[in-house]
Structure 1
């Protein structure tokens, strides 16, 4: 099934009575910083802005949203489709959609909708002469509430002692005659007035739906068993694609909308792989982080609209991503200049990695921080020293090989030979110095001693497929088949394991590993509580994990490339 076919059968993706709800993925649209979330603990709905000066989002629960009748809060349920979100009560409904990435539209019937604002120093709410209200935040930007039908009521007051507006509420109130209201909410940084005209609500819904369907064409087909999760994963990536704005020069996919609101360098490679149904979109994602590359060749660890970090190096996934994309896609659309453009950038990054991440001049690139790898288990870094890791070597083998391949396709034969030889050198080191006869190992870069690592690091070199010796592939297959520990890792980078197994000719085991991974992802984010209950409770049964765009891409890669081939 294609994602569009799944959507046509089941348009509701998230809901209080659905398998997945707004605790795992917020309601939003492509390009928008605004979103609607459900809090994990208090189970309330909040308007949020995915912007934070700190690495982890500080004000996720920005504005609480609740339906009101006769000035009293009432219970509700909700459901969300790509085009709109619906809040249902016993007295009426409220619907929320995105007119564009900077404007939310809200309409209701039979009820009012209340917004609770909590302010900080210097933040304020200002009424305008035409009945609009502007809320100004420090760093987060501004919101403008514009009544289109009915009224917007606000009780904000400025406190001269605390130098901020006191906490206040805004009510969207319908007129008594029709009991229907409609409001526009604009998000911006500087100054704004209401629009002269507003697109009809239903047209906004339709445009968002059409954009999502068009976006989903880049994804492959999926089995019926995983159709719900595949639809959610596609929606997650769509709502996490942000930019250009601020320091974002282009369109990137944020890791999360409610926690680490950043676009990480290596994760754009996963997005390129997940977009394998559209070579142009995949190519854009492969190139995306190189717009921020410095003169030395390094790319940032992450970027956002307000910050950029060089704290750590990005895992060099570009070679593995290209290997996957070329195996999956028809590359006839690409031209010589496309190859030359990516080669120039990727070879610069590979050169930086081989030079600047090998301080002891051992000829082996190293991890210097635990967050440079994609492992969940990072015990190899417990001594605080750089680590020479088999998985980093394997990824660099592919990175340098594809620098050579791109050079050939760009017509640069001389450069190609240099990179191909470097790839062969690294592969020989990997097999001769980091294989102990049963598994791949990692070493303390300073002492050369073998250090304990998690399972993923020792298995990941299988991404090299038939480039590895047959005895090594067979040993990895034996571990994946017989060792329970090898079956429990749900880190996104594990999606590379079934791909490597397929490349090595072990398709039957690849199907099994892929199915196991997909099952774990589905289980992790599913709403296991009684459907429809939105209560304040903190039980293990009622907890769900948020679905990051990285995990969403890993799921679509695995389910489409491996299971979709069955």
Structure 2
């Protein structure tokens, strides 16, 4: 029995997994056959639940989680789950029975017996095959064949007087041949790896009694979401979640990279995970996973903003900065070469998905749309390119990028400032779009690059418009007729918009307001976990309840707050001396 620290994890929101694994164990509550399931997070899986774990035949097992091991118990039965490598799971059964309820839901699923101790699950819904070996105990296999497929299959393992170990291997054309490991040793190795990860990316704050539990949860969510290189992924990559959001989206990865600034190689890997798939025109995909890439949409060009922040933190090596310069240049130029539809030189979003704010009211009247956030991000990206060009000795290019950044900010203010607010415009008509979306406040990310009068009026409208709730900035103000408590980008609070807004406010000289917004958001995470987004009025977690970019934003806020505190303490000490 492990003595590692217990993590306060609810399996119905935060899956148990580990760095390097494509397996996860979750308590499924949104399906008819609820209970704890072993699941796959492969990118091409049409159905993720592989087997349901029934302890003593029941579905309501209690759980205890450490980073290296999940323990389920019900009645007299306990099951220890340990993961190893990308596709192996150990289930150690003690004191009773475990039934593997195979989730044979697709039209060609089949569970067949290989020998007295081994079964194979041809899981066509998951696009994978699984081999199940039982070491010790006694077994009973029951299945129903309908002439084409198994419509039902269950394997019961009895371990009343002994210990039985179930080994589940994922495979394609050939079963794995690696020797079996000791689950206790594997759990200890996983725990040590997490402890090192948490020590690096959680910093000293992991031991802070006030926030330590939340820091460790955020660290676990990021660590456990990492999958190895292989398939379309050319390097170790952090998925957005091992619940449902099992991809690397092309702006989410920026927030994850920033949280890893203390390990520059890890930070660079998360950036390059998407830049590895830049096409010949300079375009980045919408997302990537081990099975391939999605290119129907893109995501907003916040990459320059995130790279600049990483440089400020010392989170990128000189080699990484040099290697990122050309891809970032091509990504910036792509917007002007391929997304400008008229003669005004202003690029457009083809869909809300392109902005990352999928269903924001900015896009409620149709597309394409020219949105003020896009020019703001591109201006920051140009500034970052100027900084990077100076870094690599390309000073003429640096001057050109600086001039283009200044020109882009002028265009933003000339075309999208409507006297008292920023507005988005219909690309083809130029008409202003009637929207109260927080998206139109994103030019604040420019900080002191905005004209003071524009900046101050925008901040005042943010304060007067009812956007700031007790839990953070709502993406649609609660007073809007389009507000929905669970409306995705039409109300809920999100980590990326919060971080972008707070950063811009801090660089605008509004540090107290930025600090206040961050404090509200961090308290929301402490209360509701690392959810995809949060109800703006109650703070309840919504949608995917274990998102890495939420965890990463939380870790970034914690570490930067600690850094500012240390800097202030140093200044006070210097003055005192």
| Band the TM-score falls in, shorter-chain normalisation | 0.7 to 0.9
Structure-2 change in CA distance of 1:271 and 1:545 (3 Å): closer
**1:137 matches 2:123:** yes
Aligned to 1:493: 496
**1:64 matches 2:52:** yes
Structure-2 change in CA distance of 1:355 and 1:429 (3 Å): same
* Cα separation, 2, equivalents of 1:130 and 1:551: 46
CA positional deviation for 1:524:
4.1
CA positional deviation for 1:36:
0.6
* Cα separation, 2, equivalents of 1:192 and 1:170: 20
**1:81 matches 2:66:** yes
Aligned to 1:536: none
2:367 to 385, 389, 400: 385
* Cα separation, 1, equivalents of 2:219 and 2:557: 13
Deviation by residue 1:272-324 (Cα, 9 ceiling, x = unmatched) = 11112222222222222111111111111111222321101221111110122
SS at match of 1:502: helix
1:179 to 138, 143, 162: 162
* Cα separation, 2, equivalents of 1:30 and 1:510: 33
SS at match of 2:80: strand
CA positional deviation for 1:542:
11
* Cα separation, 1, equivalents of 2:286 and 2:41: 19
| Aligned positions of 1:86-485 closer than 5 A | 86-119=71-104, 120-129=106-115, 131-138=117-124, 139-156=126-143, 158-159=145-146, 161=147, 163-174=148-159, 178-192=161-175, 195=178, 197-216=179-198, 217-220=200-203, 222=205, 224-329=209-314, 334-335=317-318, 337-375=319-357, 378-485=360-467
* Cα separation, 2, equivalents of 1:171 and 1:206: 28
Asked whether the equivalents of residues 149 and 182 of structure 1 are also in contact (C-alpha less than 8 Å), the reply is: yes
* Cα separation, 1, equivalents of 2:366 and 2:385: 32
CA positional deviation for 1:202:
1.1
* Cα separation, 2, equivalents of 1:210 and 1:417: 48
Structure-2 change in CA distance of 1:423 and 1:215 (3 Å): same
Aligned to 1:521: 525
Asked whether the equivalents of residues 219 and 274 of structure 1 are also in contact (C-alpha less than 8 Å), the reply is: no
* Cα separation, 1, equivalents of 2:18 and 2:315: 29
Asked whether the equivalents of residues 315 and 373 of structure 1 are also in contact (C-alpha less than 8 Å), the reply is: yes
CA positional deviation for 1:268:
0.9
Structure-2 change in CA distance of 1:193 and 1:440 (3 Å): closer
Aligned to 2:509: 505
Asked whether the equivalents of residues 112 and 173 of structure 1 are also in contact (C-alpha less than 8 Å), the reply is: yes
Deviation by residue 1:313-371 (Cα, 9 ceiling, x = unmatched) = 2211111101221222265xx23x43331111111111111211112142222111111
**1:11 matches 2:15:** no
**1:45 matches 2:36:** yes
Asked whether the equivalents of residues 362 and 439 of structure 2 are also in contact (C-alpha less than 8 Å), the reply is: no
Structure-2 change in CA distance of 1:420 and 1:147 (3 Å): same
SS at match of 2:269: helix
* Cα separation, 2, equivalents of 1:210 and 1:10: 9
Asked whether the equivalents of residues 276 and 325 of structure 1 are also in contact (C-alpha less than 8 Å), the reply is: yes
Aligned to 1:30: 19
* Cα separation, 2, equivalents of 1:501 and 1:542: 25
Asked whether the equivalents of residues 25 and 547 of structure 1 are also in contact (C-alpha less than 8 Å), the reply is: yes
SS at match of 2:245: coil
CA positional deviation for 1:10:
9.1
CA positional deviation for 1:373:
1.5
Asked whether the equivalents of residues 339 and 347 of structure 2 are also in contact (C-alpha less than 8 Å), the reply is: yes
Aligned to 1:3: none
CA positional deviation for 1:543:
8.4
Asked whether the equivalents of residues 86 and 93 of structure 1 are also in contact (C-alpha less than 8 Å), the reply is: yes
Asked whether the equivalents of residues 132 and 147 of structure 1 are also in contact (C-alpha less than 8 Å), the reply is: yes
Aligned to 1:560: 559
Structure-2 change in CA distance of 1:460 and 1:204 (3 Å): same
SS at match of 1:363: coil
Unaligned runs of 5+ in 2: 476-492, 532-538, 566-577
* Cα separation, 2, equivalents of 1:136 and 1:454: 50
CA positional deviation for 1:201:
1.5
SS at match of 2:90: strand
SS at match of 2:545: coil
Structure-2 change in CA distance of 1:553 and 1:470 (3 Å): same
* Cα separation, 1, equivalents of 2:335 and 2:530: 39
SS at match of 2:129: strand
* Cα separation, 2, equivalents of 1:406 and 1:270: 20
CA positional deviation for 1:45:
0.8
Structure-2 change in CA distance of 1:473 and 1:542 (3 Å): closer
- TM-score (norm. length: structure 1): 0.86
CA positional deviation for 1:158:
4.2
* Cα separation, 2, equivalents of 1:10 and 1:194: 30
Structure-2 change in CA distance of 1:228 and 1:545 (3 Å): farther
SS at match of 1:97: strand
Please tell me the root mean square deviation across aligned C-alpha atoms, in Å: 2.7
